[in-house]
Chain A
Amino acid sequence: MTLKSNPALQFAFICPLSSGLHARPASHFAEVANQFAAECTLTNQRNGLVGNGKSVLGIIAADIRHSDPCSVFLSGPDAQAAHTALRRFVEYTLAKCDVPLADTSVSSRSNSIPRSLQAANVTCISGIPVSHGIAQGKVVFLRTMALSSTVNSAVAGDLQQELERIKEAVSAVRHRIGERLKYAITPIGAAVLQADLAMASDVLLLEKLTEQVLGGKSAAQAVIKTGEFFTDLLGHSENDYIRQRSIDIEEICTQLLEEVCGASATPTVELKEPSVLVAETIGPQQLLELNRRCLQALVLEHSGVTSHGAILARSLGIPTLAGVRNARQMLTAGREVVVDATRGFVVPIVAPVVQRFYDRERKTLERRKNARYRSAEKSARTADGKTVEIAANASSGEELGLAFANGADGVGLFRTEMIFLGREKAPSEEEQFAIYSEATRLAGGKPVIFRTFDIGGDKKVPYLALPHEENPFLGCRGARLYADHGDLLQSQLRAILRASAEGPVQIMAPMITSVEEIVQFKAAIAQAKQHLAQNGVEFQSDIKTGIMVEVPSVAFILDQLCAEVDFFSIGTNDLSQYFFAADRGNSKLAALFSVRHPGFLQFLAQIVRKIHKHQRWVGMCGEMAANRRNLPLLIGLGLDEISVPASEVNDIKQAISQFQSAACVRLLDRAVACGTTIDVDNLVATQQLQPEPLISEDLVLLESTSQSKEEVIQEMVDAFYISNRTQDRQLLEEALWAREALYSTGLGYGFATPHCKTGAISADSISVLRLNDPVHWGSVDGEQVKMVVLLALRDSEVANTHMQVFSSLARKLINEDFRQHLLSVRNANEVTTYLSEQLGFPLGTTNEAPTAAKRNSPSMHGLIRDR
């Protein structure tokens, strides 16, 4: 950095964002710059491009990519203040202000077309899956946004009048987006709309529009010219991410045009039946306009997986394919098509074999969902029977639907501050009450822990006019703000208390460091209760109160705090950053910063022990809880509850059953005695998991109506998927077919034994299928196959103990009595019982797990030889 003498100041930075300084982070940058009168120029030293730092468009036009060296020039009366604010922003916030996108990695498998469709020569038009899912509907075309074609050559009127029209149009479009933002239903959707809002408010946009009008253009022409200017500018960026933004600016200009002309210029369609929308591109606002009930899928010709339309579609769960070349020529309006946005293609003609495939696929997905739902219903229990509550973290009512569908035992952390962010004034008590009571109702009697607003640190709220912090994470944040914002706290506490009349609600305070703070917090609750009681409003009078354990000082006054509160929740993100004195956002410190550091584990163990000594409840929210790798350590800690993102709940619940709680306690004891984090990692990696049984009834299919070898294999692979033994059906299927390619596994006598060794499965498995009508398999004796016994072995480095069962099964299949018995079984249970008896392996039981000695029974070898 070079500091010049007044009035111009400068500093340099390296762009830390992996996607570059694109629209969303740029809008944050411009927001800071616009708080000052000082002029701000941003220069990309790599390419020499210069942009106005107060303009989102200016910033993104500078084409700043990851690691580009940049410099910021400030000049004007308050340049010093602007310099300080922007430097702080760049150092502390910039790297964190990009909303991480949902997984944008797109499958690039060359051949994802299912075998049975390939065998039937079904035409498939490939595309890039940007939002997974499968849908069927009639093709509807959406016209492309084309600015210039929408308006005739309106004659420019009075200069002032035209300028006024521009101003009004900009403010109307801002208002439009602002309204949509109010109902933004996902965080991603809100971020996209916020970027749109910033673009519509952009100084450079307004400058360009004004310049055009001053040059004699009508308001409408000015919008068209400006739109063309920016789409051209952004469209030539080397950064794909930024090129995509030209779609957004085009959409905003189209909306401006609508305001100016008073007519609808945005191409829209009214969907009346299940439809597949086919377009070159789609803007986010255009997408929100569509009838979501009828919109089944999106097929876009444009290949941008990071266009805001695509991002929004993904956040709304609309199956979407991008980069479908010539889709508009290859598809016919009104014709029924299937969009497989999971495998990445459109099927333009739904032949019977296609319908058959997708009917089965729908059933499979439905059954998998139901199976997961059923397993979600059960409480999480370790193999030796210890129950752990698995709750969900949430910041909006919408996330709760997923949380409870996944079997959450409650909401361990409802982050209420999200309701306070990204708006111009604080939410009212009524607005908050609506959100909290809805969440309470959705929880259907399960506990919801509302954490009162935790603002400050990395979460900024303009309307609170918080003082500038030299070090925000160590500044005025969380409960430390409550004294100065008593009214805001009161309205929130009243809203939460009122919601408590509808279900078991609990209140939790963030950033507590001392007994005094919790005493004050409880006094505030008492005040809110009194207010409600005086007004005859119902609430739960003995509402439970707890605190976050996120400041180390708390760990040393737990005896005192246990007398004050009912429960604790360990927030590992902040607790670890304060424990290690390391900024968790600083990637250079990543090595210092591990929750598996033996000292940190020791610290956690002390906290839990102490709280349990006082018979108080303790849970954990924060990233440590969500990482499956930490699970045995968390079980070892003896936490009462683990709170994780909604999407993880089911997986964590299932994973818990693979651990023995007693073994986890021993593991933790050994972990805290380790010297280094790496030692802990190695120790955790050797933890023995409770294996799943080799066969379960859901892998037995006795009434198969499959009509070909392809369909049989697919049906069996689907059974693996439904029972959650594979997450990657294609990989498993390919492994089986790779073996078939050597020579058919049809062994004669109407039997086939497809088999493979693959990393695509979570457990060694046997699956059995009996066909109603035999199919060709290319067997050695030329006979058709009636019975299929599939063996799948996990591809792992460790010696496989199940191989003995598999070889034993292979030998038994040569035995006629064994085959006859399999052919004559009446139900799935007979199959699993018979195989387990004949081959000497245990069937799974829910709680009572076989001991290691039993699993590696010495008599097993004898059994194999005993034919």
Chain B
Amino acid sequence: MKIVAVTACPTGIAHTYMAAARLEKIAKNFGHEIKVETQGAMGIENKLTDGDISQAQIAIFAVDIEVEGRERFNGVKVMQVPLQEALKNPEDIFHKIQH
């Protein structure tokens, strides 16, 4: 499965990046292809292109704040969870996606 994701936390110093790393790792275990955009203290990195988004079957938002450029995801199935979920139970997120 092709997945895109966005992580963002209020200070953007630590958890945005930890969550991104976590999602990337677990997705691989599940055999998914994932690209994670981080919206942290360094601004947007690893930005998702329109191409990335249109090819994805689902977008995961692991965020505690509003996603920047949310309109980019119109027409895509979005699953939004608190960022902590990506650290706590990332497997759950992927289980839910499969169902």
Contact = CB atoms under 8 A, between A and B. Distances in A.
A743 interface: yes
Interface string A784-809: 00000001010000001001101110
B11 interface: yes
B18 A814 contact: yes
Given A757-B41, A780-B88, A804-B42, A814 B11 contact: no
Interface residues of A, number: 27
Contact of B88 (A753, A781, A800): A781
Contact of B15 (A804, A810, A867): A810
Interface of B: 10-11, 13-18, 20-22, 25, 38, 40-42, 64, 84, 87-88
B13 A803 contact: yes
Most buried by A among B13, B84, B88: B13
A699 interface: no
A742 B10 contact: yes
Contacts of B40: 803, 807
Interface of A: 739, 742-743, 745, 747-748, 753, 755-757, 780-781, 791, 793, 800, 803-804, 806-808, 810-815, 867
Contacts of B10: 742
Given A756-B11, A806-B13, A812-B21, 19 more contacts: A742-B64, A747-B87, A748-B87, A748-B88, A753-B18, A780-B84, A781-B88, A793-B41, A803-B13, A803-B40, A806-B17, A807-B14, A807-B17, A807-B41, A810-B18, A811-B18, A811-B20, A814-B22, A867-B21
Nearest to A865: B46
6 contacts: A745-B14, A756-B11, A757-B41, A806-B41, A812-B21, A813-B18
Given A757-B11, A814-B25, A807 B16 contact: yes
Contacts of B87: 747-748, 780
Contacts of B16: 807, 810
Contacts of A756: 11, 13
A814 B23 CA distance: 10
A791 B13 contact: yes
A743 B21 CA distance: 19
A130 B78 CA distance: 59
A813 to B, nearest CB: 6
Nearest to A789: B14
B64 to A, nearest CB: 7
Contacts of B11: 739, 755-757
Interface of chain B: mostly helix, strand, loop or mixed: helix
Nearest to A812: B21
A18 B17 CA distance: 53
A815 to B, nearest CB: 7
Interface of chain A: mostly helix, strand, loop or mixed: mixed
B17 A811 contact: yes
Contacts of A745: 14-15
A742 B40 CA distance: 16
Contact of B21 (A742, A757, A810): A810
Contacts, number: 68
Contacts of A747: 15, 18, 87
B75 to A, nearest CB: 29
Contacts of B14: 745, 753, 755, 791, 806-807, 810
Given A793-B13, A810-B13, A814-B25, A800 B18 contact: no
A747 B18 CA distance: 9
Most buried by B among A807, A808, A815: A807
Q: Which 8 A-B pairs have the closest CB atoms?
A: A810-B17, A811-B21, A814-B21, A807-B17, A780-B88, A810-B14, A755-B13, A810-B18
Contacts of B84: 743, 780
A587 B21 CA distance: 59
Given A755-B13, A793-B13, A810-B15, A803 B20 contact: no
A815 B13 contact: no
A739 B22 CA distance: 21
A604 B22 CA distance: 60
B36 to A, nearest CB: 10
A345 to B, nearest CB: 31
Contacts of B38: 807
B72 to A, nearest CB: 22
A815 B21 contact: yes
Most buried by B among A793, A808, A814, A867: A814
A810 B64 CA distance: 17
Nearest to A808: B17
A43 B84 CA distance: 72
B16 to A, nearest CB: 7
Contacts of A812: 21
Contacts of B42: 803-804, 807
Nearest to A815: B21
Contacts of A793: 13, 41
B88 to A, nearest CB: 4
Nearest to B18: A810
Contact of B13 (A757, A780, A781, A811): A757
Contacts of A742: 10, 64
Contacts of A814: 18, 21-22, 25
Contacts of B25: 814
A867 B40 CA distance: 19
A806 B14 CA distance: 7
A678 to B, nearest CB: 33
Contacts of A757: 11, 13, 41
Nearest to A743: B84
A743 B84 CA distance: 9
Contacts of A813: 18
A748 B15 CA distance: 12
A747 B87 CA distance: 7
A439 B33 CA distance: 76
Nearest to B45: A807
A560 B40 CA distance: 65
A748 B87 CA distance: 8
Most buried by A among B15, B20, B38, B84: B15
Most buried by A among B10, B18, B38, B64: B18
Contacts of A803: 13, 40-42
